A and B are shown apart, each in its own frame.
Chain A
Amino acid sequence: DAMVIQNPRYQVTQFGKPVTLSCSQTLNHNVMYWYQQKSSQAPKLLFHYYDKDFNNEADTPDNFQSRRPNTSFCFLDIRSPGLGDAAMYLCATSPHSTEYNEQFFGPGTRLTVL
């Protein structure tokens, strides 16, 4: 089945220690998104790629970076995680060829910062 895969599902890091979360997709979608979701809150868009074109949200902290080396993979780098960065991180994809924005989500990575 075509899908969106996130690894790892659970990640523990230390305060200030860089961490990378990964996302891969077999849907061959043009657009990939990263969301941050804190407990009992709505997903918050951090940034998205349309192919290799990177689009950052205005309020995304500089501490968060992303890379998309090819269509299938996208990475979220947190350069110096703080306690406030503990959250679920969701990756999603979308086929830009469609007019509407149905997004397909991965299972998420839950990040704990000690």
Chain B
Amino acid sequence: AQSVTQLDSQVPVFEEAPVELRCNYSSSVSVYLFWYVQYPNQGLQLLLKYLSGSTLVKGINGFEAEFNKSQTSFHLRKPSVHISDTAEYFCAVSGKGGGNKLTFGTGTQLKVEL
């Protein structure tokens, strides 16, 4: 079984500042890792995913994440945020060979202020 911990429930940041949203996972098997974004009253949209290969993954809207196997982390970063980045961000994990299931973290609310 897998589990995901998002250490920060809320992250306030000023516009144009950098941001990092933290995600740690636990799994007994190799994993695939995902970050999803959810805007108010919307479904989840995939930001980026790590499947294999390069540990630095680039996604949409200028976001990137780095897979660190030794620290079992997959932190999301953006060098300069915009007001429109205000949303809920979910980290998710899927165990290889574990069937069609995602395990989500509890989410981090990113609030970008002027």
User: Chain B contacts of A90 at CB under 8 A?
Assistant: 43-44
Q: Which B-chain residue is minimally distant from A57 (CB atoms)?
A: B101
The number of chain B residues with a CB under 8 A from chain A is: 23
Kindly name the residue among A9, A31, A42 whose own CB sees the greatest number of chain B CB atoms within 10 A. Answer: A42
B43 touches A31 (CB 8 A): no
A105 touches B44 (CB 8 A): yes
Q: Which A-chain residue is minimally distant from B97 (CB atoms)?
A: A99
Inter-chain contact count A-B, CB under 8 Å?
59
C-alpha gap A50/B41 in the complex (Å): 27
Given contacts A40-B107, A101-B100, A101-B102, contact A106 B43 (CB under 8 A): yes
Q: Is B94 an interface residue (CB 8 A)?
A: yes
A102 touches B46 (CB 8 A): yes
Q: Which A-chain residue is minimally distant from B42 (CB atoms)?
A: A107
User: Chain B contacts of A99 at CB under 8 A?
Assistant: 51, 96
Q: Which B-chain residue is minimally distant from A50 (CB atoms)?
A: B100
A105 touches B45 (CB 8 A): yes
- Seed contacts A50-B100, A106-B43, A108-B43; 6 additional CB < 8 Å A-B pairs: A41-B106, A92-B44, A100-B32, A101-B101, A107-B41, A108-B41
